[in-house]
Structures are given as C-alpha cells and as structure tokens.
A and B are shown apart, each in its own frame.
Chain A
Amino acid sequence: MISPQPLIRMQNVGKHFGTFQALKGINLDVIKGERIVVCGPSGSGKSTMIRCINRLEKHDEGRILIGDTELTDQIKDLNAVRREIGMVFQSFNLFPHMTILNNLMLAQKLVRKTPKAKARDIAMRYLERVKIPEQADKYPVQLSGGQQQRVAIARALCMKPEVMLFDEPTSALDPEMINEVLEVMVDLAREGMTMICVTHEMGFARSVADRVIFMDAGEIVEEADPETFFKTPQHERTKLFLSQILSH
C-alpha cells in the first residue's frame, strides 16, 4: 500500500535560539485531512514547532517540506507557501486599524488578487460561518476576545488554506468564551480541514483529533490516537503532564 504524500513533512528538525536548543529531532508527517493536537508543558517548543511550518521561525537542522516545496533560505516564493497555511494565534493579532471586513479582505486582495466584490462575498460568507456577520463594520477593539478570535479564524479561512495551524487559540480567552471558539474549530475539523492545534483543551482533542502529540523539552515524547493517549500513556513525562492538566 502506498501511503498518500504528506502535506507537511518534518524530518529530524532542530531549532536553536542562540545556544538554547528549542527543538530536537522532530519527525512529523501530516497527511491531508488529518487533525493533530499538540500539547506539552510551557516552553516545550510547541509554538516553535508550528511556527517553523510557515517559517515564522527558521529551523536550523533537518528538513521541512510543504507538499513538494522544501523550506530553505533559497526558497523562491515563501509567500506562495504561506498563503496555503492558515494560522491562528493566541493573541488574535487582528489588524487594529482596519474594520473586521477589511481584516478579512486585505490578504485576499493583495495575495490572492481576488477582485474586491468577490473578496467581500467570501469575507461575509466566512463571517456568517463564525456567526458574527453583524460585526463586519466594527473595529477589532470593539469586539470581545472570543469574537476577535473567530474573526481571526475567518480571516485565515478566507485564503482557502490547505492546512490550519492553531497556537493555543483559546488560552487568552475568558472561560465563557472558550466554547464559541472551540465550536468553530470542531465544525472545521468535521468538514475535513487539515489542522494542527496546539491546545490544552483535552475535550477538543478527544472529540476531533486523529493523533495527539505530547512534547517536552523540544522533543516529541509521545504520539498516539486520543483513546490510547489518554487511557494508556506510555511515558512518565506524559503521565505526569496529563495528571496535572486533567486535575483542574
């Protein structure tokens, strides 16, 4: 049997910040439609790993391939790779000087060269999907955190990406807003979007993940389907981590 060509392939990836090694020997293949949840203690390299995938950080060991394109310093069109990878950040990162609608239209117009009217239609369609079309003409500060994060997801989806990366999308939210964002993510997963989510929302991991990855000290320590991962974790570090986050 030939396994399908992975959308993302990380081979023995390492990353240093000065002398500190933030990632060590990361191997990860993500195929189309896969939903992966990444967890691990603070400072374990989760953000660094997914930021290497769209080259917000440059890895300095090993190889990263997105489709057929390898991420190197010689890469001809990094932006062509980036526009296929949507990213959602912990701190929303909307453009503060633009309305919600313009936040959603800007990259469509500049990067996808979508005509304005069409970009607007697409933007409104995704705002409806995240259930806040009525906020289109407001500015980011006028929205709650949960609403801003849903806008950020919609902004990424407007680019019709192949993969979505989420870096702790609910960690900066008040508890009562977490669910509205998770619902959007669950919908997305059900529709077959390829997703890599750094999150400690274990309920989300249980219900949608195909694989859960546990990282510690820059390494992937354990990797399993959610059932196995939560019921019979193999490594001590995983057990310790799980006992800590499941206890509250």
Chain B
Amino acid sequence: MELLSGWWDDFFWGSVVVAQVFLASLVLMVIFGLIGAAAKLSGNRIVQKIANGYTVVFRGTPEILVILLLYFGSAITLTWISRLFNPDIKFVDVPPFWAGTVAIALIVGSYATETFRGAFLGVRPGSIEAAKALGMSGLQVFFYIRIPEMWRLALPPFGNHMLSLIKDTALISIIGLNETLFVAKQAIGTTGKPFTMYIVVGLIYLGFSTVITLTVMALERYGNHTVRAR
C-alpha cells in the first residue's frame, strides 16, 4: 500500500469521474432506449428503418471504435461548422467526458431499445383492456398500468445494461478522460508497477458493479413481490 502513496487522491477523483460518466450515460441510455423502442413500435416504416439502422450499427461496431469515431467525428464536424463563422479557428476540442458519455450511452442504448420494446410487447393486453374498460385515459393506462408492468419485465436485462455501462466507462480513457484507468497508466509511468495499479482499478470497478448488482437485486425483489407464486 506504500506503493500507492501519492496516488490515492488521483484514484479517488478518477472514481468520481467514473461515477459521473455512469450516471450521465445512464440517463442518456434510458432516453435513447425509449426513443429507439418507441420508433420500432411506431407504425411508421421509415422511422422503424432508422431505429433498425441504429441498433444494427451500434450493436455491430466495436465499442472502442464508436468512442473514437464519435470523439474525432464530432470534433471535425464542430471545427468545420465553427470555421463557417470564424475562419481563424484551427481546431475545436470536444470534451472527452461528453463524447465518451454519449458514445457509450448510444451503444448500450441500442441494447436497451430491444429491452424496452420487448417489455412493452410483454405486458399482458388483458390488464390494459380492463383499465380502458374502466374509463381510464390513455395516459393513465400508460403510467399506472403499462409502465409498472414493463418495469418488472425490463429490470433483469436493464441490470445487465447498467453493468455494461460501468465497464464501458473504462474505454473512455482512450480519448484522454482522466478516469481510473487513465490514472493507473500515469501511475505506472512513474512507479513502474503495472500489476498493482491495474489491481487497484479492478477493485474500484468491482466495487461499482457490486453496488449496481445489489441495487438491481433489491429492485427485482420489490418488483416481483406481487407476482410470486402462492
């Protein structure tokens, strides 16, 4: 542990970055997933094609490549646009935090699209019809009946999506985000102890994923208490 002296606070702040990326990408992932699912379920052919394109591309491309393409792609695009207004600009920097967060949210959101779509279709039509027959409005049916039922169906795969997100945060070090893996590389540069430093990163991620797993287990227990067999 002597070895780590001087690096504790760097690892701590690296973990904070991991947590931030995780939370921001979680919100975006849910949004992308819901939009994707809504698009696939919409009656519109073109909208469905676009959503299919999205899931095929993002599920079929190596994640690290998506991050790199999004980072450099958005930087080039932004530079080009800025030059239209001010020709003196050489290069616009995109913050790696946001490029990385959006990239992993898009990737995992493509899986979440299928999860949400499946959950929507998995809700028993009977309870929906019963609610309509009682005179509940479309929105009331959606929020009081469909969402709670979808939630129970979507939760197990959703837990896996959260684990994917937390693991994918490590990839963002490649575009210079100062998260734990990035810190570890720097620490290795000065201490020459790669194994120790990577073990530290591993333990940090283990901590994160344990928290996620326990949370999902607790939520599943809550969601299923109504449908357990007699």
Quick one: CB contact mask for B25-52 with A, threshold 8 Å, 1 for yes?
0000000000000000000000000000
Given A95-B145, A97-B148; A107-B230 close (CB under 8 Å): no
Which one of B9-17, B109-117, B127-135 is at the A interface? B127-135
Chain B 104-159 residues near chain A, CB threshold 8 A: 124, 126-127, 129-137, 140, 144-145, 148-149, 152
B229 adjacent to chain A (CB < 8 Å): yes
Query: Residue on A with the closest CB to B138?
Result: A79
Q: Are A82 and B226 in contact, CB atoms less than 8 angstroms apart?
A: no
Interface readout for A130-173 with B: 1 if CB under 8 Å, 0 if not? 00000000011110000000001001100100000000000000
Distance to closest chain B CB from A61 (angstroms): 23
Contact A96 B226 (CB under 8 A): yes
Q: Collect the chain B residues with CB atoms within 8 Å of residue A229's CB.
A: none
Interface string of A77-118 (1 = CB under 8 A from B): 001111101110101111111100000001100110000000
* Partner pick for B132 among A56, A91, A110, CB 8 A cutoff: A56
Contacting B at CB under 8 A, from A35-66, are: 54, 56
Q: Smallest Cβ distance from A102 to chain B, in angstroms?
A: 10
Once the chains bind, are A141 and B135 in contact (CB under 8 Å)? no
- The complex places the Cα of A156 from the Cα of B126 at a distance, in Å, of 14
A139–B134 Cα gap in the complex (Å)?
A: 19
Digit string of B212-230 for contact with A (CB within 8 Å is 1, else 0)?
0000000000010111111
How far apart are A104's CB and chain B's nearest CB, in angstroms?
Answer: 10
Bound state CA distance, A54 and B133, in angstroms?
7
- Closest chain-B Cβ to A48's Cβ sits at a distance in Å of 13
* CB–CB B135/A139 < 8 A: no
**Chain A-chain B contacts (Cβ-Cβ < 8 Å), number:** 80
Which chain A positions have C-beta within 8 A of B230? 141-142
Complex alpha-carbon distance, A142 and B126, angstroms: 18
CB distance from A126 to the nearest CB of B (A): 14
Q: Evaluate contact between A87 and B152: CB separation under 8 angstroms.
A: no
Known: A89-B129, A89-B130, A110-B144. A96 touches B136 (CB 8 A): no
CA distance A26 to B166 in the complex (A): 60
For the complex, give the distance between the alpha carbons of A87 and B134 in Å: 8
Is the pair B130, A97 in contact by a Cβ cutoff of 8 Å?
no
With A91-B126, A94-B130, A95-B145 as known contacts, state yes or no: A107 contacts B136, CB within 8 Å.
yes
CB distance from B75 to the nearest CB of A (A): 47
List, in ascending order, chain B residues with CB within 8 A of A94's CB.
127, 130
CA distance A89 to B131 in the complex (A): 12
Q: Measured between alpha carbons, how far is A165 from B127 in the docked complex, in Å?
A: 16
> For residue A82, which residues in chain B have a CB less than 8 angstroms away from its CB?
132-135
Bound: A142/B225 CA distance, A? 11
Query: B136 contacts which of A56, A110, A139 (Cβ < 8 Å)?
Result: A110
Q: In chain B, what residue has the closest Cβ to A87?
A: B133
Q: Which of A83, A92, A141, A142 contacts B134 (CB 8 A)?
A: A83
- Contact assessment for A93 and B126 in the assembled complex, using a CB-CB cutoff below 8 Å: yes
Is there an interface contact between B135 and A159, defined as CB atoms closer than 8 Å?
yes
Q: What's the nearest-Cβ distance from chain A to residue B196, in Å?
A: 49
A159 to B126, CA, bound (A): 19
B148 cross-chain contacts in A, Cβ below 8 A: 97
A92's nearest neighbour on chain B, judged by CB, is: B126
Whether the Cβ atoms of A139 and B226 lie closer than 8 Å is: yes
Chain B contacts of A156 at CB under 8 A?
133-134
Q: Which residues of A contact B130 (CB under 8 A)?
A: 87, 89, 93-95, 152, 155
Question: Given A110-B144, A141-B227, are A96 and B127 also a contact pair (CB < 8 Å)?
Answer: yes
A58 to chain B, nearest CB (A): 13
Alpha-carbon gap, A66 to B227, bound state (A): 37
User: Bound complex: CA of A94 vs CA of B133, how far in Å?
Assistant: 12
Instruction: Check B127–A56 contact: CB distance below 8 A.
Output: no
List 9 interface pairs A-B (beta carbons < 8 Å), by A numbering: A56-B133, A82-B134, A91-B126, A93-B124, A93-B129, A97-B148, A106-B131, A107-B136, A110-B144
6 closest A-B pairs by beta carbon, nearest first, are: A83-B135, A93-B126, A107-B134, A93-B130, A87-B133, A82-B135
Name 5 extra pairs, CB < 8 A, besides A96-B149, A139-B227.
Answer: A89-B129, A95-B127, A106-B131, A110-B140, A141-B226
